[in-house]
Structure 1
Amino acid sequence: MNVLLLRSPTSDVPDRYEVAFRTHGYSPISAPVLETTLVHLEQLASKIDDGPSVHRFTGVVVTSKRSIEAWNRAVDCIVTRSRENDVVREVGSGGEDETSWAPIPFYILGDVTAGAARELRKRLPHGLGPMDVRGGLGAGSAEQLARVILEDGDVSGSKKMLYLTGDKNRDTMSKMLTQGGVEMEELQVYETCGSSTFAHDLEDALRKAESAGAWGWIVFFAPSAARHVYPALCDRFFFRRLDDTGGTEIAKVAAIGPTTASFLREEMGLRVDVVAPKPNPAELANTIAAFDSPIPSV
């Protein structure tokens, strides 16, 4: 059975989502739906170069791999500038230097983004990367991540977070943290728009699909992509809507998390068959496989 993943696959290593679905016998196909541009890198680089103490940051909040990419690019800017000016940037190896980010916790939404943060710290100079990664697998939604931050007893006194955002963030987490007494400084570091080549890319992806049997599943990963790709998807698939009571279901719908699921239901009127309990490959694939498993007779 085919599964269309509305996301860009990883190119340098086997894609974790595709591997997870193959483990259950599915035929996964990935189709990029968004184009992302990193923004305000100079502002981010300036804050990183200053160090957390200057701005009184006690933590960094990251909800997307794009923010990890922005941090990486900003550090590259710092290192390049230092080399051009023949300046050696040094931070305390134990995190004692006020410019070091080593003792600062990075609160990460979801396991995939947390994994990207851990990979990043391997390549960045000490003190310039996310050495202390928290959240991840246990923080699969904005609400869960907010609770992790509010209940973190390792950070004493007042809390101030550097929150790296995109252009389409909901304010759920910011409201929860602000109401909990956490000061938030938001910095937009990326913006997204619908892929101008999605219809063409979709046709290419579908040509790789197995022709036999039912089509199976379409998995949505972000509200920002759903509305953009829906017209092109409707040219190829039938979707059941919330008010449908019957009919032949050709494409089942899955969402990576509750935010995306709510958007599909409330804004687009679609019936969502499965929502991953946590936004990671194993949970998504396991939940879909469980949905498709025949109910044992009593």
Structure 2
Amino acid sequence: MTTPILLLKTKSKPHDGYAELFAQSGKYEPIFVPVLEHKFLDAGLNVVRGLLREGGIGRGEDARYGGMIFTSQRAVEAFTGVVGEIGLVGEILGDVPIYTVGPATSRALRSIPNTKLNIFGEEAGNGEVLAGYILDHYAQWYQHRTVKPPLLFLVGETRRDIIPKTLMNPSLPPERRIQVDELEVYGTGVMESFEDDFREVLARTGEGRWVVVFSPTGCEVLLRLLKEKREEGTRIITIGPTTRDFLRDEFGFEPDVCAGRPSPEGLMEGIEGFEGGEGRGR
């Protein structure tokens, strides 16, 4: 008998690493319950178009930005749409670093057609680690410049500010401090159908199921519907510390496990560790 794994996300196409890993294990049944709906923001995307067309991102002294940061696949999707219009992005951005967190976002960037980007930081796993990596790596990349050029960070309407705060920390020496400009390129909201869809899935899955939480968005609905079901043995795992801390701080709720890595393998390790007797995760 397989254990239901309720993945609160839209299934990726054409392949979804979570679906493939859990299904192949033979122990789990992955069930997707989409939570988020996204809309791209024209104001931010117009800025990106202008920067790419005018050479605003590059290694030269006259470029406005010396590199870019991505921490979500949605930001990559928004960027990919602009790249499809502009073309020649591999040539435009070939001499600047592109920083990303986690393998999924890195894969999404590498899949942009006809581009070859300098992608760094994919093993960081979270924003805090990535910020520390950027401080050292960017300093070497622009070691010939006393004042480092700003970085452009493509973000959604809802995000943490750990990366900008770390890179612009006033306590840093001026030669290490990096200006980060956040540019909103997409908005996120809860799908209107999420509550009904999740209620239906809860009704047909039983004790022992896992719920995988990928984002703070939708957590209020999630906890309200799980309030009674929790007693039936539903267990919660978060994709990383951001969502775990949100559940703790906003709702006083402690998930059973926080994945050590934001990846299918990290989730599998967290779930199997818990089931193997390691107890509540960090």
Distance 1:286 1:19 in 2: 15
Equivalence for 2:259? 276
Q: Quote the residue 1:5 is aligned against.
A: 7
Please point out which of 161, 164, 176 is paired with 2:154.
164
Q: Tell me which residue corresponds to 2:36.
A: 34
Counterparts in 2 of 1:77 and 1:234: CA distance versus 1, 3 Å: farther
Q: How does 1:31-70 map to 2 (within 5 A)?
A: 31-39=33-41, 40-51=44-55, 52-53=57-58, 54-70=62-78
Task: Kindly indicate whether the alpha-carbon contact (under 8 Å) linking 1:33 and 1:229 is maintained by their aligned counterparts in 2.
Answer: no
Distance 1:249 1:110 in 2: 33
Give me the whole-angstrom Cα distance separating, in 2, the residues matched to 1:2 and 1:285.
13
Consecutive unaligned residues of structure 1, counting only runs of 5 or more, are 80-89, 239-247
Paired with 1:149 and 1:159, the residues of 2 have a C-alpha distance of 13
Deviation at 1:266, TM superposition (A): 1.5
What SS does the corresponding residue of 1:186 show, helix, strand or coil?
A: strand
Give the superposed CA RMSD: 2.2
CA shift digits 1:150-193 (9 cap, x unpaired) = 01023323142001111111111110010140011111001101
Tell me if structure 2 keeps the 8 A contact 1:218–1:251. yes
SS of the equivalent of 1:35 reads strand
Superimposed CA distance per residue, residues 193-224 of structure 1 (whole angstroms, 9 cap, x where no aligned partner): 111111233255457x665xx23211111112
Give the match for residue 106 of structure 1: 98
Question: Aligned residues: percent identity?
Answer: 30
Aligned partner of 2:196 in structure 1 is: 200
CA distance in 2, matches of 1:71, 1:135: 18
Of the candidates 245, 250, 265, which is equivalent to residue 267 of structure 1? 250
Q: Which residue of 1 aligns with 2:141?
A: 154
Question: How far apart in 2 are the matches of 1:230 and 1:260?
Answer: 13
- The CA deviation string for residues 205-255 of structure 1, in whole angstroms up to 9 with x for no partner, is 457x665xx2321111111231244334447x22xxxxxxxxx46211111
**Whole-Å Cα distance in 1 between the matches of residues 162 and 220 of structure 2?**
21
Task: Quickly say closer, same or farther: Cα 1:284–1:19, change in 2 above 3 A.
Answer: same
Distance in 1 separating the partners of 2:180 and 2:250: 28
Which of these residues, 99, 104, 110, is aligned with residue 118 of structure 1? 110
Partner-residue secondary structure (3-state), 2:121? strand
What is the distance in 1 between the residues matched to 2:189 and 2:120? 29
One of 71, 74, 91 as aligned partner of 2:79: 71
**Residues 1:226 and 2:212 aligned together:** no
Report the Cα distance in structure 1 between the residues aligned to 2:226 and 2:78, rounded to whole angstroms.
31
Contact 1:57–1:159 (8 Å) recurs in 2? yes
Distance 1:200 1:59, change over 3 A: same
Provide the C-alpha distance between the structure 2 equivalents of 1:224 and 1:210, rounded to a whole number of angstroms: 23
Q: Helix, strand or coil: the match of 1:222?
A: coil
Pick the aligned partner of 2:126 from 107, 117, 141: 141
Question: Quick one: which amino acid aligns to residue 120 of structure 2?
Answer: R
Task: Give the aligned residue type for 1:187.
Answer: L
Q: What secondary structure does 1:282 align onto?
A: helix
Distance 1:173 1:258, change over 3 A: same
Shift of 1:102: 1.1
Question: Distance in 2 between the 1:174 and 1:277 partners?
Answer: 23
